[in-house]
Structure 1
Amino acid sequence: MSEVPAVTRSLMSAPLPQIIEKLGVAVAQAQLALDKNSIDIAQSLAESEVEIGNNTYNLLSLGFVPSFYAFTEATVEAKLSFSMTESTETSVNVGVQAGVNYGIFMAAASVDVGYARKFSVSAEGMSSIAARLVSLPAPETFLLLLKQQYQQEI
């Protein structure tokens, strides 16, 4: 049954700190990508112009602002289960045969002994990662600068 301790050790030594670290880095990289996307949309809105009457305005000056998003939580869940079984089977079969043929007596006996020991180890694992994303208003400084720019244009 030497396999059981080895399997147990490998199951219990899951790299949990590395999993948490990688989740944190992945969330930070995803947040950076979301922020860059919002900035790209702001630049696109600034470059998109609309003519109203005889005046031309970009979409930012008309109050259109990009959506900003943030991760509020991230969860790693890991479940691990394993089972070990051991069984022993012993069997004994005894047989006797006797016969008389032409005055000669013959007898035979047979003994069949069997012994089996079985080990079984099984492991199952399941993991999931979940993240919650929420929409945020545009940063105050961004909105303030837009308002000042709009007032200067008027």
Structure 2
Amino acid sequence: MTETVSVTQQLISAPLPQIIERLGIAVADAQRALDENSIKTAAAMATSEVEIGEESYNLLTLGFTPTFYAFTEATVEAKLSFSMTETTDFAISAGATVGVNVGVVMAAATVNVSYARKFSVGAEGTSSIAARLVSLPVPDQLDKILRKLSEPPQAPA
């Protein structure tokens, strides 16, 4: 197998399924972290007190809600370009000279042989990962709980 074929096989056997799997896991982990952060923010809002006049209110009772985010898309892009050349040069050159001088004959011959095999491989690659994040409204069930908590207590009848 020539060197060119070997390099070509290595370049085209990129682990694309593993790259896609890792992107999916990374997005899921990031989404979990975003959700946990929003829940912690809600808990902090419930315990953060604000004095208004003589009354004390937490941020949730004042209508503040935590922000939730979601990934709407994630894209992985990889571009690879490569070039390979394999050249073989073979050359033969020969020369002869004959000289005659007062009865003496002289002859000379030269032979030049050259062989060269050259390999050239060039590879260039770029990759990028992009994710799109949007804010979402508070989940319905949490919104119901927050509204219930923010209602003023009712006096017994």
The residue aligned with 1:73 is 73
The residue aligned with 2:133 is 133
Stretches of structure 1 lacking an aligned partner (at least 5 in a row)? none
Report the residue type matching 1:75 in the other structure. Answer: T
The residue aligned with 1:57 is 57
Stretches of structure 2 lacking an aligned partner (at least 5 in a row)? none
> Could you state the TM-score of these two structures normalised by the residue count of structure 2?
0.86
The residue aligned with 2:107 is 107
Q: Is the 8 A contact 2:67 2:136 kept in 1?
A: yes
**CA distance, structure 2, for counterparts of residue 52 and residue 115 of structure 1:** 93
Residue 93 of structure 1 aligns to a residue whose secondary structure is: strand
The residue aligned with 2:4 is 4
Residue 124 of structure 2 aligns to a residue whose secondary structure is: strand
Residues 85-136 of structure 1 show CA distances to partners (whole Å, capped at 9, x for unaligned) of 1222233333334445665332211111212222323333222111101111
Report the residue type matching 1:129 in the other structure. Answer: I
The residue aligned with 2:25 is 25
Report the residue type matching 2:2 in the other structure. Answer: S
**CA distance, structure 2, for counterparts of residue 153 and residue 31 of structure 1:** 36
The residue aligned with 2:147 is 147
Instruction: Report how many residues are paired.
Output: 154
Percent identity between matched residues is 63
Residue 66 of structure 1 aligns to a residue whose secondary structure is: coil
Report the residue type matching 1:64 in the other structure. Answer: F
> Could you state the TM-score of these two structures normalised by the residue count of structure 1?
0.87
